[in-house]
Chain A
C-alpha cells in the first residue's frame, strides 16, 4: 500500500441528541480518513456511538457538527453496502429475495439481478440455500445473507456494524476468516465496526480506537503483520496489550 487515495473524510463529526432528560452528547469532533480499498476497523466500547457514526456515514442521520466528504461525491441512497448490527434480514423473503432486494428497488430486471445475487450468494458460501427462509438458517448463515446483500449493492464502500457481534466464538472466527477472503477476492473499501479487540487486530489494515465521553478518536494502530494473523503470536499479543492499556473497553 504505497500510495493511499483518500476515499472518505469524516471531518469533526459531532452528534448531540436532544432527549426528554436533556441533551446527550454522543460524538465530539470525530475525524477519520478512510483510504481506498483498505480494511479499516473502528474499535470502540459498547454504547460509545459506533452505530450512530455509521448511520451518519450512511446518511440515515445528520451530524450536529462537522461533515462527511466522499472523494467521489456524496453517494445517493443505494450507493453504499451496509451490513447492520445483528442480522436484519427480511424474515418473509428467502435468501435469494433478500440478496437481490437492493437491485430490485433500483428496477433492475429479474434475470440480471438474480445472476448478480447468485454470484454473491456463492461468494459467501450459501449456494444451495437460495430458497431457504431466514427462520431455517443459523445465526452465522443469516449474517452471511446480510453480507451478500450488502455486496450485491455493487457499492465500492462497505460499512459493517459489528456484523459478528451476535455469533458464538467458533462461528465468529470462521466468519472473520471468510470476510477477509471475500475482501481479497473483491477489493472494496471496508469500514468494519467492532467492540472486540482481537477481532480488530485480526482484521484491520488500520485500527481507529474510539473512546472517551463524549466519544472521540483516541488513537490509530497499524497491525504490521501478514495475514492470516495468529492470535497467539508475540506481535499480536503485544499490540493487544498496547491497545488494551489505552482503552476503556471492558476486557
Chain B
C-alpha cells in the first residue's frame, strides 16, 4: 500500500512536471525566443481552444464537430480490431493449425506501417469513411493479435499441466487457464492498439479528409494558425491519455490480480 503522504508527493510531482513544461513554453514565447507567429504560447492555445469549441472559423467546423468525427472513426475501427484481433491472436496461440495457417500472412502484413496502406486504400476506397476505418483497423489489429498470441504462448506450462492432471479438456484448458493467464498481455495489446489507432487516425485525416482533428491541424498549417494546430494536437493528446486511463480502470476491474 502507498501511504497518504507518498500519494500526495506523487501527485505534486506530476503537477510540477506539467506546470514546468507549460511554464517554460509560455516564457519562451513571451520573452521572444520563439516567434509567436510560429508557436503560440499555452495561454493563447487555451483561449483558442475555448473559442474553437463553438466557432467554425477559419476552416469550417467547430472543434466539437471535428472531435466527434475523429472519435467515432477511431473508436469504431479500434473496437473492430479488438473484437477480431484478440480472439484471432488467442486461437493462433493455442491451436497449431491456426498458427500455421495464419502466421505467414500475418508476418508479412505486420512490418508494413499503417500509413503505408494509405495510398492503396485511397485508390480502392476513396477518401471516405470506410478507407480510413480500414487503415486504423490495420494499425490497431496488429498489436491486438501479437499480444494475445504471446499471452497464450507465455502461459506457464505447469499451470497447464495442473489442469491437465485434473482431467481438463483442451477447450477447458484454453478457456480456464490460457485465456485468464494471458489477460494482462491482452490488455497491454489493447492499450497499444488504442494508441496506434488514435495516432494513425490523424495521419489518415491529414492526408485525405474533409473534416476531423487531423484535417483541422492540416488546415491550421495552411492558414498559418499555430494556435489551431496546437489546439488539435492537445485535444489528441488529452483524449489519448484519458482513453488509456479508462482502459487501465477496466483492466483493474477485469484482471485485478496483477495489481495491489
Contacts and interface: CB of A to CB of B under 8 A. Distances in A.
B221 to A, nearest CB: 49
Contacts of A101: 163, 166, 176
Interface residues of B, number: 23
A96 to B, nearest CB: 15
Main secondary structure of the interface of B (DSSP, over half): helix
B162 A82 contact: yes
Given A60-B161, A82-B162, A135-B257, A92 B181 contact: yes
A76 B260 contact: no
B56 interface: no
A93 B158 CA distance: 16
Interface stretch (A83-91, A166-174, A214-222): A83-91
A60 B167 contact: no
A142 to B, nearest CB: 13
A186 B257 CA distance: 33
Contacts of A79: 167
A105 B166 contact: yes
Nearest to A76: B167
Contact of A77 (B166, B257, B258, B260): B166
A133 B259 CA distance: 11
A117 B29 CA distance: 69
A134 B177 CA distance: 15
A103 to B, nearest CB: 9
Contacts of B162: 82, 84, 88, 90
B72 interface: no
Given A90-B177, A92-B180, A105 B168 contact: yes
Contacts of A91: 257-258
Interface in B162-187: 162-169, 172, 176-177, 180-181, 183
Interface in B217-255: 255
Contact of A153 (B164, B166, B176): B166
Contacts of A135: 257, 260
A139 B158 CA distance: 18
A78 B183 CA distance: 26
B47 interface: no
B54 interface: no
Contact of B159 (A55, A80, A88): A88
A106 B172 CA distance: 10
B158 A77 contact: no
A133 B257 contact: yes
B76 interface: no
A84 B158 contact: yes
A53 B260 CA distance: 38
Given A90-B180, A91-B257, A105 B158 contact: no
B51 interface: no
Given A88-B159, A105-B172, A105-B176, A60 B164 contact: yes
Contacts of B164: 60, 77
A60 B166 CA distance: 11
Interface of B: 156, 158-159, 161-169, 172, 176-177, 180-181, 183, 255-258, 260
Sorted nearest first, the 6 A-B pairs with minimum C-beta distance are A78-B167, A102-B166, A105-B168, A77-B167, A92-B180, A88-B158
19 contacts: A58-B165, A60-B161, A77-B166, A78-B166, A78-B167, A79-B167, A80-B165, A82-B165, A84-B158, A84-B161, A88-B159, A90-B162, A92-B181, A101-B163, A102-B166, A105-B166, A105-B169, A106-B166, A106-B167
Given A84-B161, A90-B162, A105-B166, 16 more contacts: A58-B165, A77-B164, A77-B165, A77-B168, A79-B167, A80-B165, A84-B158, A88-B158, A88-B159, A91-B258, A92-B180, A92-B257, A101-B163, A102-B167, A105-B168, A105-B169
